[in-house]
Amino acid sequence: MEQGHTDVTDSCRVVAPILNRIGDKWSVQIVRLLGDGPRRFNEIKRMVDGISQRMLTLSLRGLERDGLVNRTVFPTIPPRVDYELTDLGRSLWLPVQALGLWAYEHHGEISRAQKAFDKRAGLSEEQPRKIAAVGMAGR
């Protein structure tokens, strides 16, 4: 195997799990929200449309494990738990914001490209959803 190919493979092996964490739809939204400051669990849940309690818990735990989020428990009755970005998490906030802005600015072009592709491929309205689901499942 060529040395250049080995380097790419090694870097992919290192980077892939990190990108899987920070690239999933829930983590991106959570990082964007926490960029404005600490938030409570239920506040995050209300602000992230469609996320289940279990998925929010798993996402926050993963972000905490990766050093991107701090979880602080306050000894009150009832206990209060805040989540906030760490310094490492704050270093991710600007790239995530830029990605969100890019997506917002280009959603029309992407939608038109998808419709043109679907028309050329002779896909019905239901079939593109299946293609998108298969594409996401492979991640």
Q: Which domains does the chain have, with CATH numbers?
A: 3-137 (1.10.10.10)
Q: Is the pLDDT of residue 12 over 90?
A: no
Please name the helix (run of DSSP H) or strand (run of DSSP E) that holds residue 139, with its range, or none. none
How large is the greatest C-alpha to C-alpha distance in the chain, in angstroms? 61
Instruction: Report, as an integer, the average pLDDT of 118-131.
Output: 74
Q: Cα–chain-centroid distance for residue 4?
A: 30
The predicted-structure confidence for 25-63, as pLDDT tens digits, reads as follows: 899 999 999 999 999 999 999 999 999 999 999 999 999
